[in-house]
Amino acid sequence: MKQYVLVHGGCHGAWCWYKVKPVLEASGHRVTVLDLTASGVNMSRVEEIQSLEDYTKPLLKVLESFDSDDKAILVAHSLGGPSVGLAADMFPSKISVAVFVASFMPDITNPPSYTFEKYLESFTEEESSNMEFGTYGTHERPLTSVFLGTKFLAKYMYQLSPVEDFELAKMLVRVGPAVTSNLTGTKSLTEEGYGSVTRVYVICGEDKSLTKEFQRWIIDNFPVKEVMEIKDADHMPMFSKPLELCDRLLKIADKYA
């Protein structure tokens, strides 16, 4: 029996794993899903998030609660990548493998925000017009919030997902923190912490938000142990290709956990 910990992407919550969790559990494994701070049903407000550690606190608490010999398969989706990177940096001995699914995977030379900031730089006007950015924090240290508009969800993230899951997302997405260097700080994650953890990347082949080319660039920026692909998945493989995603996660467990 292996232990999975599934970490959602920006503006989403633990709810997005509802198809994946029972399949992994039916295969005999334990599965923990959680809401990052100010996500899902977590009662905090985005204004309370002043650092990447603040945002990641619910995940850090889960790993802290593990027995000394427990190890997790830590799975990051999308903007959950920097949080998983931080958790792996702080608890490398509690993680057997970190899996990044169409995710902003940090490296050990740049700030944890690096790949997300590169992504924002590549944004077209049309893409950014369907995302709502706000500011909070102080004049000296302004922080950025982000909300995913319905058009952005429909065109770039959920275009191959069932309409019911798109409806669910429209009801449940929340304003979240933009994981920029103002939030994460400019210090990189460490080689002896995060850098020592085995990493696998799962590419989503029909992702229009994090394009396949951009996912390849993320991998080239910090090469991983293995690259897998789900060819017909949009940015939300837990909805568009849940069984294929579970298949990859089970194979990863067999090989690395």
Q: Which two tokens stand for residue 223?
A: 């090469």
**Nearest CA among 72, 37, 62 for reference residue 51:** 37
- CB of 189 closer than 8 Å to CB of 86: yes
**C-alpha angle 23-161-172 in degrees, rounded to nearest 5:** 85
User: Which of 89, 165, 207, 234 is an active site residue?
Assistant: 207
What whole-number distance in Å separates Cα of residue 88 and Cα of residue 93? 8
**200 or 129: which carries more pLDDT confidence?**
200
Neighbours of 91 (CB within 10 A): 21
> Which H helix or E strand runs over 230?
strand 226-230
Residue 235 designated active-site: yes
**191 or 130: which carries more pLDDT confidence?**
191
- The sign of the dihedral angle between the CA atoms of 243, 245, 249, 255 is positive
Which single residue is written with the structure tokens 């198809």?
19
3-class SS letters over 185-196: CCCCCCCCCHHH
> Which H helix or E strand runs over 103?
none
Q: In sequence order, what are the beta bridge partners of 75?
A: 6, 99
Q: What is the pLDDT of residue 69?
A: 86
Work out how many domains the chain is built from and give that number. 1
User: Which of 78, 103, 113, 161 is an active site residue?
Assistant: 78
pLDDT in tens, 25-44: 999 999 999 999 999 999 99
pLDDT in tens, 60-116: 999 999 988 889 999 999 999 999 999 999 999 999 999 999 999 999 999 999 999
Axis-axis angle for helices 52-64, 81-90 (nearest 10): 50
pTM of the model: 0.97
What whole-number distance in Å separates Cα of residue 215 and Cα of residue 207? 9
- CB of 16 closer than 8 Å to CB of 84: no
Which single residue is written with the structure tokens 């953890």?
197
What whole-number distance in Å separates Cα of residue 64 and Cα of residue 84? 14
pLDDT > 90 fraction of the chain, expressed in percent and rounded: 93
196: confidence class by pLDDT, cuts 50, 70, 90: very high
Average pLDDT of every residue of the chain: 96
154: confidence class by pLDDT, cuts 50, 70, 90: very high
130: confidence class by pLDDT, cuts 50, 70, 90: confident
CA 40 from chain centre, in angstroms, equals: 14
In this predicted structure, the answer to whether residue 126 has a pLDDT above a threshold of 90 is no
User: Average pLDDT, stretch 135-152?
Assistant: 93
Q: What is the pLDDT of residue 166?
A: 98
Q: What is the CATH number of the domain that holds 34?
A: 3.40.50.1820
**Range of weakest confidence among 31-40, 137-146, 186-195, 234-243:** 137-146
pLDDT in tens, 3-21: 999 999 999 999 999 999 9
**Range of weakest confidence among 83-92, 139-148, 196-205, 246-255:** 139-148
Residue 78 designated active-site: yes
177: confidence class by pLDDT, cuts 50, 70, 90: very high
123: confidence class by pLDDT, cuts 50, 70, 90: confident
In this predicted structure, the answer to whether residue 134 has a pLDDT above a threshold of 90 is yes
Q: What is the pLDDT of residue 68?
A: 81
What domain range includes position 202?
Answer: 3-256
